[in-house]
A and B are shown apart, each in its own frame.
Chain A
Amino acid sequence: MLEVSRLSFSYAGRHGPVPILKDISFSVPRGGAYGVIGESGSGKSTLLRLLSGLARPVEGQILVDGAPAVRWSGKMRRRVQFVMQDPYASLHPLKTINSALGEPLRIHGERDIPARVEKALAQVGLDASFRFRFPHQLSGGQRQRVAIARALIINPEIVLLDEPTSALDVSVQAEVLNLLKDLQEERQLTFVLVSHDLAVVAHMCDRASVLHSGSIVETLEARDLRAGNCSHPYSKELMASARVGLPALEVEQ
């Protein structure tokens, strides 16, 4: 479904190009969930910006169903959608939920907008009373549900998730993760999830890569991730530091 080969990205610094991502390759089958684990500054958010077409790779290729994602126009746009980290920043402050959810449909010239907006709200577990509210009248978890509904309303195949729960309370995190998992099963979505939180990745993904200063140092299967079986020293260090904060989330596994 999604194939990334030899992807590199750098930006122009004062002393020549500053590399952000080096030689990233991975592939995700349809309906699969791929995790990328890394600390801040590892380049994980940049990776999602490349995959979503917001930035262009310096080198390498992104293939969606075998077709290179070079020009992000019409059809390609609909296939890949993005849920961002901060639900307080990803909703337009002056637009009602109704307008935010209708916008993707209007952009693509679709019909039946009111009915589909209502359906999309129901699918993320928000009742119709939220429809004409403004983002500032919603909690963080409710906002993130709206952001998820907005990404899914034009039926994408690939959904990019940038730390979808890190801005939420621990109690709401599990709810949103389970919602994402349910939606994935229901619609055969392909996920690329980026997070610094090992527990979240282990809960959501079949495979995951550990990203360290722009390179993939190790790729793990879900069960190795849960068991903490890894070989690279950086991954080991990451696992060890995560274990301290893990017990609270291990309950939901």
Chain B
Amino acid sequence: MPAQPTLATTGQLAGSAPRSALQAALLRTAEACADIWASRLTRVGIVLVAMMVLASLAAPLLTPYSPTTTDLGARLLQPSLSHPLGTDDLGRDVLARLLYGGRATFAIVFGTLVLIVPLGLLVGVTAGFFGGIVDVVLMRLTDIFLAFPRLVLALALVAALGPSLFNAIIAVALTSWPAYARIARAETMTLRRADFISILKVLGASRPRIILFHIVPLCISSVLVRATVDLAGIIIITAGLGFLGLGVQPPYPEWGAMVSEGRRFMQDQWWMATFPGLAVLAVSLGFNLIGDGLRDVMDPRA
């Protein structure tokens, strides 16, 4: 069960009575945001991730170089004023590739999130609410997916579907949803016997109505918390796929692929592999910090 926002319970923001549904929702959101923002580490995480996302979106404004145009005269240049992070073996600016490559990484991360959260919620809540044979069938299905190591399953899927950005999203999503289904199921099992759900049955609410409007909203918070912590893992799997050449295809940049390309030059041209590696590290760290903060706010037991 999600916890009440602490600010609301202490009444700092709840003093005045809201006069409309919108105002009530805004007040509640503001309370939750204030609680999340209150932790310094969470703030660091939010700022870190926001900076990376904005920088990759604003890439054309931040660098004059193209991420794909090769310039063999400028191969493997050290970091300097004109190339702050140096150039790679084909003379492309590493900063430009890093900024544009963030787009692919974030596309995969958010694409995966958009797929797995609804899918996991739907499967888990349905299994938990109906129980019995529905539960058995759906949960054995998730067990099958859980039985494979994630990276290996993702590799197999991309190998079968063919390497591309879109297929990488599908592969990562298919390997990530079972955990969400399990969380949503556990949450639903405790909720389905709750008094406020029984009352809805007495009032004559249909089962889809109870599931979608009353149980799902209560499961979203724990699923989202898990997702935020999981995002770091998703970034690393994405980078892993890219590293093995199974994600975004060259010449388009992607952080994992950049590390892979830079590996050959690691001894003498350290900047090629180091900076994309640091980017993966920073974003993973950022998402982990946000996830921890969200969990502290939504689940005071942890």
Chain A interface residues toward B at CB < 8 A: 52-54, 72-74, 77-78, 80-82, 84, 86, 89-96, 98-99, 103-104, 107-108, 129-130, 132-134, 136-137, 147, 150, 154
Closest beta carbon of chain A to B273's beta carbon, Å = 47
- B203/A103 in contact, CB under 8 A: yes
Cβ-neighbour of A104 out of B1, B20, B203 (below 8 A): B203
CB 8 Å contact bits of B177-217 with A (1 = contact, 0 = none)? 00000000000000000111011111111100100001001
Given the known A-B contacts A94-B217, A132-B17, A134-B28, are A81 and B202 also in contact in the complex, defined by CB atoms under 8 Å? yes
Find the B residue at minimum CB distance from A78: B204
Contacts of A54 in B (CB 8 A): 198, 201-202
> Given known contacts A89-B194, A136-B4, what 6 new A-B pairs fall within 8 Å (CB)?
A84-B198, A86-B195, A89-B195, A107-B206, A132-B18, A133-B17
Q: How many Å from the CB of B214 to the closest CB on chain A?
A: 6
With A96-B21, A136-B8 known as contacts, the answer to whether A90 contacts B199 (CB < 8 A) is yes
A-B contact pairs, 19 of them (CB 8 A): A78-B204, A80-B202, A82-B198, A86-B195, A89-B195, A89-B196, A90-B196, A90-B199, A94-B2, A96-B24, A107-B200, A107-B205, A132-B18, A132-B23, A132-B24, A133-B18, A136-B8, A147-B199, A150-B199
Which of B1, B195, B202, B204 is the one whose CB lies under 8 Å from A74?
Answer: B204
With the chains together, A224 CA to B9 CA distance in Å? Answer: 46
Chain A nearest CB from B144 CB (Å) reads: 31
What is the interface of chain B, defined by CB distance below 8 A to chain A? 1-2, 4, 8-9, 14, 17-21, 23-24, 28, 194-196, 198-206, 209, 214, 217-218
**Which A-chain residue is minimally distant from B198 (CB atoms)?**
A54
Is there an interface contact between A99 and B21, defined as CB atoms closer than 8 Å?
yes
Q: A134 to B7, alpha carbons, bound, how many Å?
A: 13
Residues of chain A contacted by B14 (CB below 8 angstroms): 133, 137
Interface of B is mostly: helix
Task: Check B203 against A132 for contact (C-beta < 8 Å).
Answer: no
Top 5 A-B pairs, shortest CB-CB distance: A77-B204, A129-B17, A132-B24, A89-B195, A132-B18
Residues on B with C-beta less than 8 A from A96 are 21, 24
From B8, B195, B201, B202, contact of A134 by CB (8 A): B8
Verify B205–A134 contact, CB threshold 8 A: no
User: In the assembled complex, how far is the CB of residue A146 from the closest CB belonging to chain B, in whole angstroms?
Assistant: 11
On chain A, the residues within 8 Å of B2 by CB distance are 93-94
In the complex, number of A-B residue pairs with CB atoms less than 8 Å apart? 83
Q: Closest CB of chain A to B215's CB: distance in Å?
A: 10
Chain A's nearest CB lies how many Å from the CB of B101?
Answer: 39
Q: Which residues of A contact B202 (CB under 8 A)?
A: 52-54, 77, 80-82
Known: A89-B195, A93-B2. A132 touches B217 (CB 8 A): no
Chain B residues with CB under 8 A of A137: 8, 14
Q: How far is the CB of A164 from chain B (nearest CB, A)?
A: 13
Residues of B contacting A132 in the complex (Cβ-Cβ under 8 angstroms): 17-21, 23-24
A149 to B4 Cα, complex, angstroms: 24
Asked if B205 and A93 make an inter-chain contact with CB atoms under 8 angstroms apart, the answer reads no
Give bound CA distance, A73 to B214, whole Å.
Answer: 20
Write out the residue numbers on chain A whose beta carbons fall within 8 Å of the beta carbon of B217: 94
From the candidates A89, A94, A107, A134, name the one contacting B203 in the complex (CB within 8 A): A107
Docked Cα-Cα span, A42 to B132, in Å, equals 29
Q: Name which residue of chain A comes closest to B221, CB basis.
A: A94
In the complex, the answer to whether A108 meets B204 with C-beta atoms within 8 Å is yes
Assess whether A98 is in contact with B21, with CB atoms less than 8 Å apart. yes
- A93 neighbours in B (Cβ, 8 Å): 1-2, 4, 218
Residue from B24, B206, B214 with most neighbouring chain A CB atoms (10 Å): B24
> Across the interface, do A81 and B203 meet the contact criterion of CB distance under 8 Å?
yes
Taken together as a complex, chains A and B put the C-alpha atoms of A103 and B217 apart, in Å, by 15
Contact A92 B203 (CB under 8 A): no
Contacts of A80 in B (CB 8 A): 202
| Distance between Cα atoms of A239 and B57 in the complex (Å) | 76
Shortest distance from the beta carbon of B204 to any chain A beta carbon, whole Å: 4
Residues of the A chain whose Cβ atoms lie less than 8 Å from the Cβ of B196: 89-92
Residue of A nearest to B5 (CB): A136
Name the B residues within 8 Å of A72 (CB-CB).
204
Residue contact B24 to A103, C-beta cutoff 8 Å = no
With the chains together, A91 CA to B198 CA distance in Å? Answer: 11
Q: Which B residues are CB-close (under 8 A) to A154?
A: 203
Given A54-B202, A74-B204, A89-B195, check contact A134 B24 (CB 8 Å): yes
Contacts of A77 in B (CB 8 A): 202-204
A89 and B190 alpha carbons, distance in the complex (Å): 12
